[in-house]
């Protein structure tokens, strides 16, 4: 991997930066170092062991099992690409091509740390609150790193990184983007600023943690849209209140007009909603998006109502207004002028608001790494790279990232997506080109590896891996197992438990 160009420095050729590294120092990415004239990968190769425990934090020191030097302990293991090293400049075989017998099937795993220039993260933020309009720019340290994309049910979505930000902008934009991706993929918190000067929202995002929006930690994601909430809880409100409005930035629901209310014979109340009526009892755009009730900008729910119709409404009529998470609610009684006047909420209605909140799931951020396995990765597996792509599409080769299940997108290429929380901690690195370094493993039968033109002469038995240089991570039996026979097309027709289970 290295050329000794000067007596005191060696050259790392694991990425295009080609650092000269002095004795006792590490290269620009802190992944490789010069130890007594030898180029060494600083992070140990990570091996997953199937146990009854979950994956433990990297080098936690406390809950990591002591390494006993025996890599074949009788439990099932999987050599990941974390700490494996790369194949740059592409013509070389992957750093580890490991063979092991899995229930009578000779399996091979090709293990590489990929240098991903085409990569990014998709971030799902469970919140009703408005964090930005679709296509708003997301910035870190003033640099654009991504944008807001289409919202999903109860969640806002961001697309961060990608080759345009890594390579298509200024040097600082590429560096900040790479750093943002690295932190998010390694489960660290990053403060994102969304929108332009006059309308900015700050969101702190970390995988598996609640988002912090403008300094306030989000607690709950919505139980449903306003219309769905009416449908779900309509029966609870029957005979307890005359009208219910579930305030939602997208679809505000009105009980007396909604189909659910009609089927329960709830009479009209003469309520007048502002906004655009979609279908009976369902209103769009009752307010502007914001961080108030139900993802709107309102703090006073009455601002979304027009005057009650005097032909239908009457003094003493009651109304509950509630948000889609049940966190905000207010109870009103109409006075002689048919104006809603705040009143103490009856206990049964309070319970219904608490039930809405109880049915909301905790708000969390999810970070999914997405990258394309291109030239260097595929060439490290076989001299005929397109055969690998075909083998993946034919389910003869299984793709995993750090042992975690990777979704492979349909169509051309090998474009994968993986939840970073399913991967061992500190799975990701970077190189200052800038690009992200992510583990990727290709597993298949040894016979299929031969057919696709693999480097069969480079295959090592799993027990040839230097045990002293590995990091051992426990994997639950319930976690994804890349070697499971059901991952492969050839298992069709194999009886359950017969092979590789
Ligand atoms: S940045 Fe890292 S991988 Fe790239 S040449 Fe330098 S030490 Fe090697």
Distance 178 CA to ligand 1 centre (A): 15
Residues 88-93 have a mean pLDDT of 72
- C-beta of 32 in contact with ligand 1 (< 6 A): yes
Q: Tell me: pLDDT of 248 over 90.
A: yes
**Which of 27, 95, 178 to mutate to test ligand 1, by most ligand atoms within 8 A of the CB atom?**
27
**Which of 9, 15, 90 to mutate to test ligand 1, by most ligand atoms within 8 A of the CB atom?**
15
Taking the C-alpha atoms of residue 247 and residue 251, their distance in angstroms, rounded to an integer, is: 8
pTM over 0.75: yes
- C-beta of 39 in contact with ligand 1 (< 6 A): no
- C-beta of 27 in contact with ligand 1 (< 6 A): yes
Domain ranges of the chain: 1-42, 44-116+374-491, 119-220, 226-358
CA 146, distance to chain mean position in Å, is 15
Long-range CB contacts (< 8 A, 24+ apart) of 273-276? Answer: 273/245, 273/304, 273/305, 273/306, 274/303, 274/304, 274/305, 274/306, 275/304
Please state the atom number of ligand 1 nearest to the C-alpha of residue 88: 3
Q: Tell me: pLDDT of 58 over 70.
A: no
- C-beta of 10 in contact with ligand 1 (< 6 A): no
- C-beta of 246 in contact with ligand 1 (< 6 A): no
In the chain, pLDDT over 90 holds for what percent of residues?
A: 69
Beta bridge partners of 123: 158, 367
Tens digits of per-residue pLDDT, 283-297?
Answer: 999 999 998 999 999
Longest Cα–Cα distance in the chain: 96
CB count, 10 Å around CB of 343? Answer: 12
- C-beta of 338 in contact with ligand 1 (< 6 A): no
Tens digits of per-residue pLDDT, 116-169?
Answer: 999 999 999 999 889 999 999 999 999 999 999 999 999 999 999 999 999 999
- C-beta of 28 in contact with ligand 1 (< 6 A): yes
Tens digits of per-residue pLDDT, 165-200?
Answer: 999 999 999 999 999 999 999 999 999 999 987 789
Q: How far is CA 187 from CA 125, 146, 183, 366, 367, in A?
A: 14, 18, 6, 10, 8
- C-beta of 431 in contact with ligand 1 (< 6 A): yes
Distance 383 CA to ligand 1 centre (A): 24
- C-beta of 432 in contact with ligand 1 (< 6 A): yes
Q: Are 377 and 114 in contact (CB under 8 A)?
A: yes
Least confident of 304-318, 354-368, 383-397, 464-478: 464-478
Please state the atom number of ligand 1 nearest to the C-alpha of residue 433: 1
- C-beta of 41 in contact with ligand 1 (< 6 A): no
Q: Tell me: pLDDT of 63 over 60.
A: no
Residues 458-464 have a mean pLDDT of 87
- C-beta of 29 in contact with ligand 1 (< 6 A): yes
């Amino acid at each position: 991997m290295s050329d000794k160009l000067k007596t005191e420095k060696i050259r790392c050729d694991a990425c295009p930066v080609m650092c000269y590294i002095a004795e006792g120092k590490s290269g620009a990415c802190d992944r490789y170092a010069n130890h007594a004239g030898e180029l060494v990968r600083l992070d140990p190769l990570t091996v997953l062991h199937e146990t009854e425990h979950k994956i433990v934090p990297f080098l936690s020191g406390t809950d990591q099992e002591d390494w006993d030097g025996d890599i074949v302990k009788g439990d099932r293991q999987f050599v990941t690409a974390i700490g494996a090293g790369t194949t740059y400049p592409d013509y070389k075989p992957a750093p580890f091509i490991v063979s092991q017998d899995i229930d009578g099937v000779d399996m091979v795993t090709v293990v590489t740390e990929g240098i991903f220039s085409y990569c990014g993260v998709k971030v799902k933020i469970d919140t009703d609150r408005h964090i930005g309009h679709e296509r708003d720019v997301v910035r870190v340290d003033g640099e654009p790193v991504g944008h807001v994309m289409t919202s999903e049910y109860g969640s806002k979505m961001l697309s961060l990184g990608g080759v345009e930000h890594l390579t298509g902008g200024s040097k600082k934009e590429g560096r900040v983007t790479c750093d943002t991706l690295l932190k998010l993929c390694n489960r660290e918190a990053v403060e994102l600023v969304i929108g332009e000067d006059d309308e900015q929202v700050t969101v702190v995002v970390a995988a598996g943690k609640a988002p912090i929006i403008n300094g306030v930690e989000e607690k709950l994601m919505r139980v449903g849209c306003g219309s769905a909430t009416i449908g779900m809880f309509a029966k609870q409100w029957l005979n307890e209140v005359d009208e219910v409005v579930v305030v939602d930035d997208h679809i505000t629901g009105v009980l007396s007009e909604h189909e659910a209310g009609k089927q329960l014979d709830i009479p009209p109340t003469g309520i007048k909603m502002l906004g655009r009526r979609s279908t009976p009892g369902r209103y769009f755009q009752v307010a502007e998006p914001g961080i108030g009730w139900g993802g709107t900008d309102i703090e006073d729910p009455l601002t979304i109502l027009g005057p009650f119709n005097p032909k239908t409404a009457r003094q003493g009529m009651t109304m509950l207004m509630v948000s889609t998470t049940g966190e905000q609610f207010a109870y009103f009684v109409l006075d002689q002028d048919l104006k809603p006047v705040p009143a103490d909420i009856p206990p049964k209605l309070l319970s219904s608001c608490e039930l809405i909140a109880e049915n909301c799931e905790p708000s969390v951020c999810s970070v999914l790494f997405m990258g394309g396995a291109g030239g260097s990765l595929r060439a490290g597996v076989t001299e005929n790279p397109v055969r690998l792509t075909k083998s993946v599409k034919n389910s003869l080769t299984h793709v995993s990232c750090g042992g975690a299940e990777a979704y492979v997108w349909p169509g051309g290429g090998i474009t994968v997506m993986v939840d970073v929380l399913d991967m061992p901690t500190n799975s990701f690195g970077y190189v200052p080109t800038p690009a992200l370094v992510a583990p990727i493993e290709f597993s298949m039968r040894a016979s299929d590896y031969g057919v696709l033109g693999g480097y069969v002469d480079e295959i090592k038995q799993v027990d040839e891996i230097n045990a002293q240089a590995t990091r051992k991570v426990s994997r639950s039996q319930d976690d994804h197992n890349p070697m499971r026979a059901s991952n492969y097309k050839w298992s069709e027709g194999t009886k359950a438990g017969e092979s590789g289970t």
